[in-house]
Amino acid sequence: MTRWREVNSLLLVLLVLLDPQLAVGREAQENITLAVILPQSNINYPWAWPRVGPALDRAVRTINSDPTLLPDHHLTYAFKSSENQDGICSESVAPLMAVDLKLAYNPWAFIGPGCSYTASPVGFFTTHWDVPMITAGASAVEFYNGVYPSITNTGPTHKKLGRFALRICEHFGWRDHVMLMFGDDKQDDRPCYFAMEGLYEGLKSINISTQDSVFEENKPPINYSQILTDIQNSGRVLFVCCSPDVFRKLMIHFWEADLPHDQFVFFYIDLFAASLNSRQQQPWFRGDKDDAVAKKAFQCVKILTYREPQNPEYRRFVSDLKTDALKMFNYSLDCSLMNIIAGGFYDGLMLYVHVLNETMAAFRGRPPGKVVTRRMWNRTFHGQ
Ligand SMILES: *[C@@H]1O[C@H](CO)[C@@H](O)[C@H](O)[C@H]1NC(C)=O
Ligand SMILES: *[C@@H]1O[C@H](CO)[C@@H](O)[C@H](O)[C@H]1NC(C)=O
Ligand SMILES: *[C@@H]1O[C@H](CO)[C@@H](O)[C@H](O)[C@H]1NC(C)=O
């Protein structure tokens, strides 16, 4: 009898050793940690933490409160900034933060970075580690040419922008005299450079050749007569990307020049609609002596922006985002189109968790990153 009981308790001990879940009870949950790398404070970036953090935090709360999603697991995240001391995205800081997060938390996925120059080194690491990387930034075309198999983008990309420009040119039968003009100071994240690269690749795919005209914006004075000479020599269809003030000056110079104005069309690439903010949506208006000329010149202009989702879910999302940003960061969020990036991160995280949920059963735990990433691609997820 005594002997039997001894054996029995030995078995129990063995069971306890073999099954840690049993040891600490059913309610103990394994943590799934996500590593977030985004700019901590520079709200000029659409993926800055005060803009995106409230959405991610809400997504995590939603997921943890849903018993059908990741049962027996608790989702949590650790944040590190990709900024240097000057508040600029740094391609040397971001990969160091990625290594720190990897060692400290062994994260199941990376969220961000958003800037293209920081997403690139982190994207190489996540591929090497086989950890999914989810972002709604990193919009440069190079991220979608097969070089970064760990990255899933749930935001707008310049590859799609390029396809849109291609459709415009196809529709109107424009094949020649297409010109790409942009401001590029070769520092920070070069948004116009990467946007124009998308157009260049898109147009090249149907053999439309383009001319470039590049100028530096932060080293005045800009030589507008040089730009006008470029326009006159080789452009009729002009895609332009630069700050709203420089674009307005350029259009004023164009209108005052002795040119057949009706033979030119300008597409102003203003993805987040900065030129339409807070001036009664009148991009020519400054309240100065040039307003009249600028207004006439803008008759040759089409402004290309991202399209804000029109569904009620998105409106509710933005309203929640504002409330949460105020609570989390005491930050009063504007109504800008940049909020679609927060929406992209939110949807990206939800999509990741749904796919993870499906895959974990099959793998009895953490699935390989590749498997999760493959299943995320070419899937549509409707924000909720
Ligand atoms: C999960 O993370 C929380 C903090 O978010 C921590 O307090 C807890 O100990 C962790 N649980 C496990 C099982 O690691
Ligand atoms: C573009 O040019 C290449 C080489 O000249 C040719 O093979 C290809 O069919 C062309 N594509 C289109 C869409 O015209
Ligand atoms: C501006 O460009 C014009 C035309 O190319 C050139 O003649 C002129 O010297 C340039 N001006 C300056 C200040 O560089």
Q: What is the pLDDT along the chain (384 residues), one digit of tens a residue?
A: 344 444 444 333 333 344 444 444 445 689 999 999 999 999 999 999 999 999 999 999 999 999 999 999 999 999 999 999 999 999 999 999 999 999 999 999 999 999 999 999 999 999 999 999 999 999 999 998 889 999 999 999 999 999 999 999 999 999 999 999 999 998 899 999 999 999 999 999 999 989 999 999 988 789 999 999 999 998 899 999 999 999 999 999 999 999 999 999 999 999 999 999 766 789 999 999 999 999 999 999 999 999 999 999 999 999 999 999 999 999 999 878 999 999 999 999 999 999 999 999 899 899 999 999 999 997 877 655
| Pocket of ligand 3 contains residue 229 by CB under 6 Å | yes
| Pocket of ligand 3 contains residue 319 by CB under 6 Å | no
Most informative mutation of 27, 33, 60, 74 for ligand 1 (most atoms within 8 A of CB): 74
User: How many angstroms is it from 331 CA to the middle of ligand 1?
Assistant: 29
- Tokens matching residue 93: 């800081």
Nearest Cα residue to atom 1 of ligand 1: 31
Alpha-carbon distance of 197 to 182, in angstroms, equals 11
Closest by CA position to 58, among listed 347, 358, 369: 347
| Pocket of ligand 3 contains residue 233 by CB under 6 Å | no
Q: Which atom of ligand 2 is nearest to the CA of 207?
A: 1
Domains for the chain: give ranges and CATH numbers. Answer: 34-156+311-376 (3.40.50.2300), 159-304 (3.40.50.2300)
- Tokens matching residue 279: 């001036």
| Pocket of ligand 3 contains residue 226 by CB under 6 Å | yes
Asked if residue 345 lies in contact with residue 52, where contact means CB atoms within 8 angstroms, the answer is: yes
Q: Is the dihedral of CA 60, 63, 66, 68 positive or negative?
A: negative
Is pTM beyond 0.85 here? Answer: yes
User: How many angstroms is it from 16 CA to the middle of ligand 1?
Assistant: 21
**Neighbouring residues of 132: CB distance < 8 A, sequence distance ≥ 6:** 108, 109, 110, 126, 150, 152, 352, 369, 372, 373, 376
Nearest Cα residue to atom 6 of ligand 2: 207
3-class SS string, 110-122? EECCCCHHHHHHH
Nearest Cα residue to atom 4 of ligand 1: 76
Cβ < 6 Å from ligand 1: which residues? 30-31, 74, 76
Q: What is the predicted pLDDT for the residue at 165?
A: 97
Look up residue 361 and give its amino acid.
Answer: A
Q: Which atom of ligand 2 is nearest to the CA of 205?
A: 13
Nearest Cα residue to atom 5 of ligand 1: 76
Q: What is the predicted pLDDT for the residue at 27?
A: 56
User: How many angstroms is it from 133 CA to the middle of ligand 1?
Assistant: 23
**Where does residue 233 rank: exposed (0-12), middle (13-18), buried (19+ CB within 10 A)?**
exposed
Q: What is the predicted pLDDT for the residue at 15?
A: 38
